A and B are shown apart, each in its own frame.
Chain A
Amino acid sequence: MKILIVDDNADDRRVLRYTVEAQGHKVLLAEHGEQGLAMAEQHKPDLIISDALMPVMDGFRFLRNLKQKPSLSDIPFIFYSAAYRENQDVQLALSLGAAGYIIKPIEPPTFWKEVEQILANSKATHRLVSQPAPETSEYFKRYSQVVATKLEEKVRELEWTLEERARAEANLQRALKEREVLIHEIHHRVKNNLQIIISLMQMQANYVTDPVARLAFKENETRVLSMALVHDKLYQSLRLNQIRIAEYMRSLVEELASTKPNVSIELDIPDLSFDIDTAIPCGLILNELIMNTFRYAFPENRSGHIRVQLRTSGTISNASGQPAPIYTLTVSDNGIGLPGHIDPKNSNDPKTLGFRLIAIFVHQLHGTSTYESTDANGTEFSMTFSPVLERAIPAPIVVDGDSHA
Chain B
Amino acid sequence: MSTSPSKGRILIVDDEQLIVATLEMSLEQMGYSTTAPASTGEEAVKIAASDNPDLVLMDINLPGAINGIDAAKMIFSRFRIRSIFVSGYPHSEMASLADGPWSRGYITKPYSLERLQSAIEVALDPRA
Contacts and interface: CB of A to CB of B under 8 A. Distances in A.
B25 A206 contact: yes
Interface stretch (B5-13, B40-48, B65-73, B88-96): B88-96
A209 to B, nearest CB: 14
A353 B114 CA distance: 23
B contact face: mostly helix, strand, loop, or mixed? helix
A221 B88 contact: no
14 contacts: A187-B88, A191-B108, A192-B16, A192-B109, A195-B111, A196-B16, A198-B110, A200-B18, A202-B113, A203-B21, A225-B110, A236-B90, A236-B93, A259-B114
Contacts of B89: 184, 188
Nearest to B110: A195
A311 interface: no
B88 A199 contact: no
B3 interface: no
Contact of A194 (B61, B109, B115): B109
Question: Which range contains the number of B residues in contact with the other chain?
Answer: 20 to 34
Given A195-B19, A203-B18, A258 B110 contact: no
Interface in B64-113: 88-90, 92-93, 108-113
Interface in A199-242: 199-200, 202-203, 206, 221-222, 224-225, 228, 232, 235-236
A189 interface: yes
Nearest to B87: A188
A114 interface: no
B4 interface: no
Residue in A188, A203, A206, A258 whose Cβ sees the most chain B Cβ within 10 Å: A188
Given A196-B16, A203-B25, A228 B113 contact: no
Contact of B88 (A188, A203, A224, A255): A188
Interface string A295-331: 0000000000000000000000000000000000000
A232 B93 CA distance: 11
Contacts of A221: 112
B122 to A, nearest CB: 13
Contacts of B25: 202-203, 206
